[in-house]
Amino acid sequence: MNDWVMTIGIECHVQLATKSKLFSPADNDARDKEPNSVVHPIDYGLPGMLPLLNREAVNLAVKAAKALQAEVAKVSRFDRKHYFYPDLPMGYQITQMYHPTIGAGLVDAPMPDGSSVKVRIHHAHIESDAGKQTHYADHTLVDLNRAGTPLIEIVSEPDMHSPVEARAYCTELYRLMTYAGVTHGDLYHGNMRFDVNISVAKAGNDTLGKRAEVKNLNSFRSVEKAAEYEFRRQVELLERGEAVVQETRGWDDAKQKTTSQRSKEDAQDYRYMPDADIPPVILSDEEIESIQADVGMLPGDFRAAFSGLSLDSSVITTLLADKHHAELVYGVLQKAPEHAERVAHWFASVFKVADSDEGMVDLEANDGPTVDDLLTLARMTADAKLSSTSAKEVFLALVAGETDPETIAAERNLLQESDEGAIAAVVEEILADDASKKSIADIKAGNEKAIGYLVGQVMKRSSGKANPSLAQKLIREKLKTL
Amino acid sequence: MKTIATYLGRTARKNVEQAIEAARANESYHALLHLTAERAYERAELVDNGKVTGRLAGVPFIVKDNYLAFDGPTTAASHILENFVAPLQATVVERLEAEGAICIGKANLDSFAHGSSTENSAFGPTKNAVDPTKVAGGSSGGSAVAVALDIVPFALGSDTGGSIRQPASFNGVYGVKPTYGMTSRYGVVAMASSTDVMGCFANTAEDAALVTEIMAGQDTKDPTTLPDFFEPVTSLSSLKIGVITDFMTEDTDAGVRSRVNEYIERLKANGHTVENVELPLAKYTLAMYYIIVPAEVASNLARYDGVRYGSRSKDAASIEELYGLSRDKGFVAETKRRIMIGNYVLSSGYFDAYYLKAQQARQKLIEQFDDLFSRFDVLISPVTPTTAFGFGENTDDPMKMYLSDAMTVGVSLAGIPALSVPAGMSDGLPVGVQLIGQRRSDATLLALARSMEAVS
């Protein structure tokens, strides 16, 4: 296997977060709607209907271009891609074959090991989605709710060479598109779908092998797993002296394998042609600039901002899994940089799920903490009013929607005792206790670790409210006098 | 001859009754596919009660059956849409109704507007209004004949390559092919998206101008419509007119040429200057047209698959058969021919050689017209090389049939306006002259036609 190199290129369909469809005023949110209940005559392909381009979709594409570090075409056009399918009402999909809105770009995707993979973007085009078919034993039902939903298809260059790189790219693409507000990013409802093209060739060989395309993957894990599987499958074929067939394959998540769907010989001739019903999209530099000015900080901006902090790359990855988390930590960083690392670690410890797709959580669903809440909590901790354990408890309460860290800490009796006199009294009691004798002897014999037991006893006696470092300091001072 | 003025100031009900009576009396011409009497009487009541007023209050009209309109099916003269009932109306129909006009029926056409004789209607041809042994022309044959027979004072057609101008010429009425984008295509069964325009037939230039003015204007439902520009022209100065000599050769019937030349003499007598001009690409326009338009036809007809509406084959055992059988039964031979040509020129490996090349040639053609219009206000030519031909004369040879469009398709490809103006008879059949203008000069063309009407 080591003699073989894999090459991966990915096409990603991103559902745009518009209110209405790409060419009609119908509601773009088809989730949990009655079949065929959000279908306008335009989406239905009624005779005499003409597509009305939704400029909001164009604006989101222009924002996507910024996230992809890509040029926006001053003039872009729509084309028709023809094929017959019951869920394709007009007999053609409206797409951008010849003059896409988004040109070449670049995605610099961080890898788990702290390095990054640079993936060039060939282009990205706007297109409309088809409907959905449900097959039964003797009939098929068509639901056109999703027909006409706006998508952008982001086409990468074949710049990835491992399943981990493929996954890293898809994950970064997800972050870019959600951060830029291009998509809601609901993976469960297929807001982002990946078609992964994979080929293998002997190491050192300049020519790429025949590729297979695994279509319609909707999680980062399945992208990685499908790439791993295809690599093994294709290498095994080639090592047996057989050929890889250029074909479309599907991913069976239950069996964790890909299966053949159709070969190139069955490939359709889509008979692309310019769509004369849709005037060209013309964008001036000023328009592009003003649309893109609304794009907030992107993952790379946060990474740059956090790079000065002493944070592990896994912590940053966890933070960036949710834009809102990154924004909160960034907010703390802006107001009081000395507290940023502490707050970052709270998020990283609580949302330690970055390695799974489910790590993509949406904190905006509830109110959560504000930057000021986090600052207050950080200061309380720095001032030793809270132990680090208690601080995390308050943080969790904030995340759960409770408000005001001071109230939370007080109500839960978490505030820490930092009055030297009061703690000193407890220390005296503990040291006087017979049970402490062995530890005292051990410490005097040079076993520093034994102090832990004494600190623990002080904490216990004070119901956990004593400041442990203060307790330790006082124990040491007291021991010197014994 | 009836004009809009004939109907104004009478009760709408009386107008509708008369029009329906006239339609029934002329059933043998097969100009109409069906009447919309029920709705017509409802609308008449609204007009007579003063609830709807306007410049066409109570005036009956007819629309080509590829316009979506209420009361009865919108068939496009095809079996696949035989029972298709439109849930909405075309923008231009709505605009005419808003001025009080009353649609009394749907006119016959070549199925999906594919043809030049109305012989391609799935429901039988329409007879010429002047000589019932001849074709009506097409594809808007029924609309032209309905006006020529005085069933209604005006009717709507669609013109993709000559489908208004040619039947207007064959039946001796006015036909208006507007600038592309002046009239909304919304709610009209699409033939070729880049050349389809909605226009009218009338017995006088004055009526044609009024109806055109009401139809014209930007429509938010049709993104290819242009900002409003149609302003009636009331006084006309001396114009520079060019005769397209490429269309005045021996290939054009002598009788047709004579009538056109007479019209030219009258133009001169009326103070206009006339010169011969050449349109070097004229001879290639049919080739361009019969590549570009079938490509758009194949695409626009892909939606008629029997899945969501329209007739569906009951014999299908699979989805592929459902498509194949529904479309085989639903489309006439000419429609299938155009779908096949269109898919051929769009197919991988042929697209560049045919479709792209034709589009490049079309661009050159537009440049040639622009050049001519930098020197001339109006161009003139016959509408067709011959007068109306007999039934079946051209049906065996599609190329011969297509030649009937040779003088009209170039105008369509260039998106410029043109009129078909009655210019007398040749061997007992009407001849039309084509007045062609630069984009947005529709009102000037209509004013010129009207000024000539006054002196004829």
Maximal C-alpha separation, chain A: 99
Instruction: Report the pLDDT value the prediction gives residue B455, as an integer from 0 to 100.
Output: 60
Q: How far apart are CA B128 and CA B166, in angstroms?
A: 12
Q: How far apart are CA B127 and CA B28, in angstroms?
A: 8
User: Same domain, yes or no, for A280 and A324?
Assistant: no
Nearest by CB to A82, from B76, B88, B302: name it: B302
User: Same domain, yes or no, for A365 and A444?
Assistant: no
Q: How far apart are CA B300 and CA B92, in angstroms?
A: 20
For residue A406, give how far its alpha carbon lies from the nearest alpha carbon of chain B (Å): 58
User: Same domain, yes or no, for A404 and A424?
Assistant: no
Instruction: Report the pLDDT value the prediction gives residue A354, as an integer from 0 to 100.
Output: 45
CATH number for B59: 3.90.1300.10
For residue A56, give how far its alpha carbon lies from the nearest alpha carbon of chain B (Å): 16
Nearest by CB to A273, from B188, B295, B309: name it: B295
CB contact under 8 A, A48 and B188: yes
Q: Are strands A212-217 and B102-107 parallel, antiparallel or unpaired?
A: unpaired
For residue A81, give how far its alpha carbon lies from the nearest alpha carbon of chain B (Å): 9
* B140 belongs to a structural domain: yes
Instruction: Report the pLDDT value the prediction gives residue A358, as an integer from 0 to 100.
Output: 42
Nearest by CB to B189, from A48, A53, A272: name it: A48
Contacts of B187 in chain A (CB under 8 A): 48-49
Stretch 279-338 of chain B: residues touching chain A, C-beta under 8 Å: 295-296, 298-299, 301-303, 305, 307-309, 319, 323
What share of chain B in percent tops pLDDT 90? 96
Catalytic residue (choose from B78, B111, B116, B139): B139
Q: Which residue has the higher pLDDT, A427 or B242?
A: B242
* C-alpha separations of B402 from A174, A328, B385 in Å: 55, 71, 11
Tokens in use for B191? 């033939």
User: Same domain, yes or no, for A441 and A400?
Assistant: no
Q: Which amino acid is at B89?
A: Q
Domain end marker among A354, A386, A411: A411
CB contact under 8 A, A48 and B81: no
What 3 state SS string does A331-400 have? HHHHHCHHHHHHHHHHHHHHCCCCCCHHHCCCHHHCCCCCHHHHHHHHHHHHCCCCCHHHHHHHHHHHHC
* C-alpha separations of A222 from A9, A14, A172 in Å: 15, 17, 15
Residue of A nearest to B302 (CA): A91
Strand B197-202's sheet: what is its strand order?
B32-35, B102-107, B60-64, B154-159, B197-202, B174-177, B418-426, B429-437, B378-382, B240-244, B273-277
User: Same domain, yes or no, for A38 and A166?
Assistant: yes
Interface ipTM: 0.96
CB contact under 8 A, B346 and A89: no
CATH number for A445: 1.10.10.410
Residue B329 known to be catalytic: no
Contacts of A269 in chain B (CB under 8 A): 347-348
Q: Could you give the number of structural domains in chain B?
A: 1
Contacts of B346 in chain A (CB under 8 A): 82, 271-273
Q: How far apart are CA B189 and CA A291, in angstroms?
A: 37
First to last CA, chain B: 16
Residues B262-305 pLDDT 10s: 999 999 999 999 999 999 999 999 999 999 999 999 999 999 99
CB contact under 8 A, B308 and A80: no
- Interface size between A and B, measured as CB pairs under 8 A: 95
Q: How far apart are CA A269 and CA A248, in angstroms?
A: 15
Q: Which amino acid is at A413?
A: N
Q: Could you tell me the residue range of the domain that residue B46 belongs to? A: 4-215
For residue B237, give how far its alpha carbon lies from the nearest alpha carbon of chain A (Å): 36
Q: Could you tell me the residue range of the domain that residue A349 belongs to? A: 297-411
Instruction: Report the pLDDT value the prediction gives residue A352, as an integer from 0 to 100.
Output: 67
CB contact under 8 A, B224 and A41: no
* A249 belongs to a structural domain: yes
CB contact under 8 A, B319 and A86: yes
Q: How far apart are CA A183 and CA A193, in angstroms?
A: 12
CA dihedral B314→B316→B317→B321, nearest 10 degrees, is: -170
Q: Global pTM?
A: 0.91
User: Same domain, yes or no, for A145 and A46?
Assistant: yes
First to last CA, chain A: 68
* A292 belongs to a structural domain: no
User: Same domain, yes or no, for A455 and A346?
Assistant: no
Q: What are the two backbone dihedrals, phi and then psi, of residue A134, each rounded to the nearest 5 degrees?
A: -125, 120
* C-alpha separations of A346 from A179, A203, A249, A315, A349 in Å: 22, 44, 42, 10, 5
User: Same domain, yes or no, for A181 and A253?
Assistant: yes
Contacts of A48 in chain B (CB under 8 A): 67-68, 86, 90, 185-190
* B372 belongs to a structural domain: no
For residue B293, give how far its alpha carbon lies from the nearest alpha carbon of chain A (Å): 11
User: Same domain, yes or no, for A329 and A263?
Assistant: no
Q: How far apart are CA B39 and CA B47, in angstroms?
A: 12
* B141 belongs to a structural domain: yes
CB contact under 8 A, B296 and A276: yes
* A291 belongs to a structural domain: no
List residues in chain A touching B: CB distance below 8 A. Answer: 41, 44-53, 80, 82, 84, 86, 89-92, 140, 142, 269, 271-273, 275-279
Q: Which residue has the higher pLDDT, A31 or B222?
A: B222
Nearest by CB to B307, from A41, A82, A86: name it: A86
- In a mutational test of the B interface, the residue from A271, A275, A282 whose CB has the highest number of chain B CBs within 10 Å is A271
Catalytic residue (choose from B78, B116, B163, B420): B163
Identify the CA nearest to B97 among candidates B176, B44, B167, B170: B44
DSSP lists the bridge partners of residue B211 as none
User: Same domain, yes or no, for A313 and A169?
Assistant: no
Q: How far apart are CA B195 and CA A78, in angstroms?
A: 18
Neighbours of A173 (CB within 10 A): 25
CB contact under 8 A, B221 and A273: no
Q: Which residue has the higher pLDDT, B406 or A474?
A: B406
Question: With contact defined as beta carbons under 8 Å apart, do B433 and B421 qualify?
Answer: yes
Q: What count of residues does chain B have?
A: 456
Question: With contact defined as beta carbons under 8 Å apart, do B387 and B431 qualify?
Answer: yes
Q: Which amino acid is at B23?
A: A
B109: contact with A, CB 8 A cutoff: no
Q: Could you give the number of structural domains in chain A?
A: 3
Contacts of A275 in chain B (CB under 8 A): 193
Residue of B nearest to A84 (CA): B302
CB contact under 8 A, A140 and B319: yes
Per-residue pLDDT of chain A (482 residues; tens, 9 = 90+): 678 999 999 999 999 999 999 999 999 998 889 999 999 999 999 999 999 999 999 999 999 999 999 999 999 999 999 999 999 999 999 999 999 999 999 999 999 888 999 999 999 999 999 999 999 998 899 999 999 999 999 999 999 999 999 999 999 999 999 999 999 999 988 999 999 999 999 988 888 899 999 999 999 999 999 999 999 999 999 999 999 999 999 999 999 999 998 776 667 899 999 999 999 999 999 999 999 999 999 999 999 999 999 998 889 988 998 888 999 999 999 999 999 999 999 998 888 654 444 444 454 455 688 999 999 999 999 988 888 888 999 999 998 888 899 999 888 888 877 777 888 888 888 888 888 888 888 888 888 888 888 888 888 888 777 888 888 888 888 888 87
Residue B163 known to be catalytic: yes
DSSP lists the bridge partners of residue A142 as A133
Domain end marker among A411, A446, A470: A411
Residue B28 known to be catalytic: no
* B100 belongs to a structural domain: yes
Contacts of B88 in chain A (CB under 8 A): 41
- Continuous H helices in A210-263: 220-239
B112: contact with A, CB 8 A cutoff: no
Contacts of B81 in chain A (CB under 8 A): 47
Contacts of B180 in chain A (CB under 8 A): none
Nearest by CB to B308, from A89, A140, A269: name it: A89
Section B400-421 average pLDDT? 95
B344: contact with A, CB 8 A cutoff: no
Stretch 79-108 of chain B: residues touching chain A, C-beta under 8 Å: 81, 84, 86-88, 90
Tokens in use for B58? 């109570």
Residues B104-156 pLDDT 10s: 999 999 999 999 999 999 999 999 999 999 999 999 999 999 999 999 999 99
For residue B66, give how far its alpha carbon lies from the nearest alpha carbon of chain A (Å): 9
What sign results for the dihedral spanned by CA atoms A366, A368, A372, A373? Answer: positive
User: Same domain, yes or no, for A280 and A378?
Assistant: no
The half-sphere exposure of B93 on its side-chain side, counting CA atoms within 13 A, is: 29
For A64, the enclosing helix (H) or strand (E) is: helix A55-67
The half-sphere exposure of B397 on its side-chain side, counting CA atoms within 13 A, is: 6
Q: How far apart are CA B424 and CA B258, in angstroms?
A: 10
CB contact under 8 A, B309 and A89: no
Identify the CA nearest to A234 among candidates A470, A3, A476: A3
Q: Which residues contact A78 (CB under 8 A, 6 or more apart)?
A: A53, A94, A95, A96, A126, A274, A275, A278, A281
Domain end marker among A359, A385, A411: A411
Neighbours of A243 (CB within 10 A): 11
User: Same domain, yes or no, for A41 and A164?
Assistant: yes
Residue of B nearest to A43 (CA): B303
Q: How far apart are CA B115 and CA B391, in angstroms?
A: 13
